[in-house]
Structure 1
């Protein structure tokens, strides 16, 4: 692991990885065995139905199987078309990748996955100035934390901005990216924060054996995108 990339005071809210695959119609019959193998790490389970129930005879609804850790901070979702892992307790990339590896090994043990239809990695950062300030009355200006291009007109009207958001889809280093940024308000105390949400993905068919090499690349891209959207001062404050 690159020690320079460990941010001890990171502003990450949620990290999500989703891997899509060709629809497996017999997956429901195998979920009991998958659940047993996941149980030691993800003991809580539930099922939800995606979308509206289909009225056509012979077509079953899409079940979304959810498995959660003891502290409910890690979640695995599996449907007949994708698997995902997400956490609100991200520590570092190696830890996240190891957990995904375990889930992939279990799923591939019970399901034949040869190729993917989509691979995506998403980092949702919610920057809260009160967690960065030494004293509550000493909040840094947004222009000290967020790059001027990312901040946009909010940098000019920071004290009177009621709402600001930006969303862009683009390609970077032969990968597809979707970046959403802007002002947010935290539900617990109403503090105004800033969102930086980077989703890096490919919707090309890929060999399952190549998934983790691709995700390593996506992780580097997510870091580079985030670093380019903030100031050196904020980067130092998070180290």
Structure 2
């Protein structure tokens, strides 16, 4: 048995750990464009589960935000199917006066969502309010996960050429797939900060003039101290913007118009 090491003799092969490569995109300074294509912007702050919040949100949290979020409603979010049937989780929703912003409070997470996006500076201002209000009621000094998600809709119609980078739509450009009714892909990986989930394509019928090509970018990171939350959300936004910018073609950039640099974010108060 000479010439064989013991590991090989017993059939054990030592494989090196594969290198984990992170998202690598050109650096871009985030800007606020004259137009935006945002259909949904959301930041979710997951917390260690507190079952008492299943019944109602903490009064101190609701009171702190009541001036800007006077409307309250309650709903159920489906979480799966268990032995007893469909399982759900209570959602306490605080909506802004004009109902375009919503704070969703669950036993395991708090999220800020907006359907009529006014820019990152306004979104971040409101997120700071949420974090400040949550700090004293979640009974934790860390978030189990923070995620920043943007869903943009590009008004491409049935032809994405010029709107979306060819790296994403080459099969559609060359026509190898024929007439496509649905084109939807998902990619997950590591980023320089945290991880990402990227979904893109046409969710509905592509062959219509009103068809939109969706770019759904979710950046997230786990186990974050509350005091570092806003700093990291700002960094996740910079990553997300670079990803979004990489996805765009010439027509999309022309449609968005001139951009002005994002304002500097003030440090988080402790």
Pick closer, same or farther for the CA change 1:39–1:221 going to 2, 3 Å. same
Deviation at 1:53, TM superposition (A): 10
1:1-239 aligned within 5 A: 5-27=31-53, 28=55, 31-51=58-78, 62-129=89-156, 141-157=159-175, 160-185=179-204, 191-202=210-221, 204-239=222-257
Deviation at 1:159, TM superposition (A): 8.7
For 1:145 and 1:81, the matched residues in 2 are separated by 38
Deviation at 1:237, TM superposition (A): 2.4
- Which segments of structure 1 move beyond 4 Å, counting only runs of 4 or more? 52-56
Q: Is the 8 A contact 2:193 2:236 kept in 1?
A: no
Render the CA deviation track for 1:72-119: whole Å, top value 9, x for unaligned. Answer: 111100112110000011121111011011112112233333001111
Q: Is the 8 A contact 2:148 2:220 kept in 1?
A: yes
TM-score, structure 2 normalization = 0.73
Deviation at 1:229, TM superposition (A): 1.0
Pick closer, same or farther for the CA change 1:105–1:55 going to 2, 3 Å. farther
TM-score, structure 1 normalization = 0.82
Deviation at 1:185, TM superposition (A): 4.3
Unaligned 5+ segments in structure 1 are 131-138
Instruction: Flag the structure with larger Rg.
Output: 2
For 1:213 and 1:200, the matched residues in 2 are separated by 14
Pick closer, same or farther for the CA change 1:20–1:3 going to 2, 3 Å. same
